[in-house]
Chains A and B, each alone.
Chain A
């Protein structure tokens, strides 16, 4: 809980930094400042889902129930960040692209990934036997891991109107330093928020397991 509260306070200072201490982009106006929260939510969501894939693989290899509990926690946290990403993205797209949504590769693949994790949650709810639930959901978690790099690389692989990555690319960041530092700070805040959320959610999962044992 402490990490989450600190992370939310850091996020509040990201808001302050983005609004008051970062220059306004001339052609997009203040809507451009949405790009200090939307890519960070996308980063946190993809990181959460990527970790689900890794811990799921770990579960299948080691059969350690803690890895399954952690996968469940990271998947739920990833969905929360996914909702934030899919909510803030259209609010940038409407004034800049002239449309709330475009069925282009990055957006469509991202939506599919989020829907896959809605299915992951449904699967976990539908199976009563803990071993069977852990095994089946680990397979789904690993399948989703395959989709994560495609989501990131989709802007290079397909013709798309989605902006290209600012940091996770071979060349230097393509923004002025005043903007880059705010986005970096925001990504750090979301990473800390992930740690806070997943710690809390893992604790809930562990207590549920202990009570049902």
Chain B
């Protein structure tokens, strides 16, 4: 019977990359929301 291959590094890399992309996008939305809410100079 074939042994299960050790592919754990790919899983860890994919899960990390996915988290970085989605959390990064959430933070970018939050930052832009705060910026758009704050009054601009001359307002």
Residue of A nearest to B22 (CB): A84
Task: Please judge, given known A-B contacts A27-B2, A203-B33, whether A92 and B26 are in contact too, CB under 8 Å.
Answer: no
Write the chain B residue with the least CB distance to A95. B7
Interface SS of A by simple majority = helix
Interface pair B14/A34, CB less than 8 Å apart: yes
Contact: A27 with B4, CB < 8 Å? yes
B33–A80 touching, CB < 8 Å: no
Residue of B nearest to A41 (CB): B18
* CA A37 to CA B2, docked complex, whole Å: 26
A91 vs B9: C-alpha distance when bound (angstroms):
9
CA–CA, A193 and B15, complex, Å = 16
How far, in whole Å, are A95 and B21 apart by their CA atoms in the complex? 22
**Count, A-B residue pairs, CB within 8 A:** 94
| Contact indicator A207/B36 (Cβ below 8 Å) | yes
| Distance of A146 Cα from B9 Cα, bound (Å) | 37
B interface secondary structure, majority: helix
Determine whether the beta carbon of A83 is less than 8 Å from that of B21. yes
State which size class the interface on A falls in.
35 or more
Residues of A within 8 Å of B15, CB to CB, are: 15, 19, 33-34, 37
Which of B4, B13, B32, B36 is in CB contact (< 8 Å) with A91? B13
Contact of A201 among B6, B11, B18, B29 (CB under 8 A): B29
CB-based contact B7/A30 at 8 Å:
yes
- Asked if residues B10 and A31 are in contact (CB atoms below 8 Å), the reply is yes
Complex alpha-carbon distance, A33 and B2, angstroms: 19
Q: Which of B1-37 contact A (CB under 8 A)?
A: 2, 4-8, 10-11, 13-15, 17-19, 21-23, 25-26, 29-30, 32-33, 36-37
**Apart from A8-B23, A24-B4, A27-B5, 8 more pairs, CB < 8 Å:** A1-B33, A30-B11, A33-B15, A84-B18, A87-B21, A88-B17, A197-B25, A200-B26
Closest 10 CB pairs of A and B: A31-B7, A91-B14, A29-B7, A30-B11, A207-B36, A95-B7, A80-B25, A30-B8, A200-B29, A31-B10
- 11 A-B contacts, Cβ less than 8 Å apart? A1-B30, A1-B33, A8-B26, A19-B15, A29-B6, A96-B7, A200-B33, A204-B29, A204-B32, A207-B36, A208-B36
